[in-house]
């Protein structure tokens, strides 16, 4: 299902996972304790947010997390406790982490009796996605999901003389009392999500989605070569024409090689009768590498930009420097920059919520998410 730029569908998933910039490999050690009793927590999970790198604590609450590349966001998670995330830019020495019990959670969290089936279905649709990736994904522990619906009205000016009308706004809120355990069978991962909040606002004709959570991927342990080949094929399909693939292409200045045209939405014309006219913009005029592995986009606030992705019939990118677009299909997405300057990492992960995607790219949600450290050989 497509959404046009007029019906804004913002999914800020990319901003949740702070990626890893390569500055050499390191080891982080420490101990995880109960903040009230000071007792060590065995089997607490320690992982680098958004990646496949993680470990668990031993009987003494001790952990050793290897192959860490700084900067990194390290997450500490244990059932019944509030997760903690720590941004680490250099060797922190031996860490002592005190996790707080989730004592303020209501009793209903344990039983989930008040969550209506229709609300749970809606959550899975918006959170996992309505595409093939989302439909195949399953949440093993749905009973830990909490949902709340709220409604309010706001005054909206409708003309230049200040005439106002009431506009209804509905807000769908969800969170989880324990890490969500999500099977991604097409991609070959079990995904653990410490979900802090997930919000969907319906305002007029717009749908705005936002969330905060921490992601840890565990690849399936399947030895069959045919299954591994199938996983990699599916991962590539999910990766191409994703926000991650697009932003990596921007960072590497390889938009055309990877099938992308970025154009101003207001003055671009698309005609599908073997003639395609567009007014592309050179993103290099608006971008600078400000730090190692970090790019800044500037001067595009409030501009409506269109992303066209041209691809071969198997979904792989069409090199626009070598091929004519007229014989190949394309898909359309949108991108909005919410501030005068917006930043993202070379791995294609947005640092904050200031870069937002619409259209087909926004339809790829958690069910199609890949680890931040996912790499493809020929990309």
17, part of any domain: no
- Residue 155: closest CA among 146, 167, 172, 147: 167
Residue/partner pairs of 226-229 with CB below 8 Å, 24 or more apart: 227/188, 228/188
4, part of any domain: no
248, part of any domain: yes
Instruction: Say yes or no: 144 and 259 in one domain.
Output: no
Instruction: Say yes or no: 134 and 212 in one domain.
Output: yes
Mean local confidence (pLDDT), 129-142: 96
Mean local confidence (pLDDT), 292-309: 90
Instruction: Say yes or no: 120 and 193 in one domain.
Output: yes
- What's the domain range around 32? 25-99
| CATH number for 73 | 2.60.40.1120
Q: Which of 219, 236, 265 is the last residue of a domain?
A: 219
pLDDT of 364 reads 93
Pairing of strands 95-99, 25-34: parallel
pLDDT of 159 reads 63
Q: Is the pLDDT of residue 184 over 60?
A: yes
Q: Is the pLDDT of residue 191 over 50?
A: yes
Instruction: Say yes or no: 251 and 363 in one domain.
Output: yes
Q: Which of 99, 118, 148 is the last residue of a domain?
A: 99
375, part of any domain: no
- Residue 309: closest CA among 369, 374, 262: 262
Instruction: Say yes or no: 187 and 229 in one domain.
Output: no
207, part of any domain: yes
pLDDT of 273 reads 33
Residue 168's pLDDT band, with cuts at 50, 70 and 90, is: confident
Instruction: Say yes or no: 267 and 340 in one domain.
Output: yes
Q: Which of 187, 202, 219 is the last residue of a domain?
A: 219
Instruction: Say yes or no: 252 and 344 in one domain.
Output: yes
Instruction: Say yes or no: 290 and 187 in one domain.
Output: no
Q: Is the pLDDT of residue 78 over 90?
A: yes
- Comparing 16-30, 79-93, 214-228, the range with the smallest average pLDDT is 16-30
379, part of any domain: no
Q: Where does residue 344 rank: exposed (0-12), middle (13-18), buried (19+ CB within 10 A)?
A: buried
7, part of any domain: no
Instruction: Say yes or no: 179 and 250 in one domain.
Output: no
374, part of any domain: no
Instruction: Say yes or no: 200 and 230 in one domain.
Output: no
pTM for this prediction: 0.84
Instruction: Say yes or no: 188 and 230 in one domain.
Output: no
Number of domains within the chain: 3
């Amino acid at each position: 299902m497509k959404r046009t730029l007029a019906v804004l569908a913002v999914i800020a998933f990319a901003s949740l996972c702070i990626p890893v910039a390569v500055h050499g490999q390191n080891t982080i050690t420490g101990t995880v304790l109960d903040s009230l009793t000071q007792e060590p927590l065995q089997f607490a999970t320690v992982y680098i947010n958004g990646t496949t790198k993680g470990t668990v604590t031993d009987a003494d609450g001790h952990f050793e997390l290897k192959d860490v590349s700084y900067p990194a966001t390290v997450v500490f998670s244990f059932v019944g406790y509030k997760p903690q995330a720590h941004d680490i830019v250099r060797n922190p020495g031996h860490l002592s982490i005190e996790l707080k019990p989730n004592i303020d959670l209501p009793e209903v969290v344990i039983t989930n009796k008040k969550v209506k089936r229709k609300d749970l279905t809606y959550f899975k649709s918006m959170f996992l996605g309505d595409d093939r990736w989302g439909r195949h994904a399953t949440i093993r522990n749905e009973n830990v999901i909490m949902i709340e619906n709220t409604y309010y009205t706001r005054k909206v000016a409708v003309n230049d003389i200040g005439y106002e009308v009431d506009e209804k706004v509905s807000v769908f809120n969800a969170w989880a009392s324990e890490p969500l355990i999500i099977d991604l069978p097409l991609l070959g991962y079990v995904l653990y999500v410490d979900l802090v909040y997930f919000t969907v606002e319906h305002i007029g004709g717009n749908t705005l989605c936002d969330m905060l959570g921490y992601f840890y991927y565990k690849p399936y342990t399947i030895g069959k070569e045919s299954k591994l080949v199938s996983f990699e094929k599916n991962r590539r399909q999910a990766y191409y024409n994703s926000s991650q693939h697009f932003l990596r292409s921007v960072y590497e200045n390889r938009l055309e090689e990877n099938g992308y045209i970025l154009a101003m939405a207001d003055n671009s014309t698309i005609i599908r009768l073997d003639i395609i006219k567009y007014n592309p913009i050179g993103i290099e005029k608006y971008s600078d590498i400000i730090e190692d592995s970090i790019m800044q986009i500037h001067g595009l606030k409030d501009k409506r930009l269109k992303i066209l992705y041209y691809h071969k019939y198997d979904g792989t990118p069409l090199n626009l420097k070598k091929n004519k677009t007229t014989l190949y299909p394309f898909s359309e997405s949108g991108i909005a920059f919410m501030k005068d300057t917006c930043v993202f990492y070379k791995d294609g992960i947005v640092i904050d919520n200031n870069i937002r995607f619409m259209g087909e790219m926004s339809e790829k949600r958690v069910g199609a998410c890949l680890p931040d450290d996912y790499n493809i050989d020929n990309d």
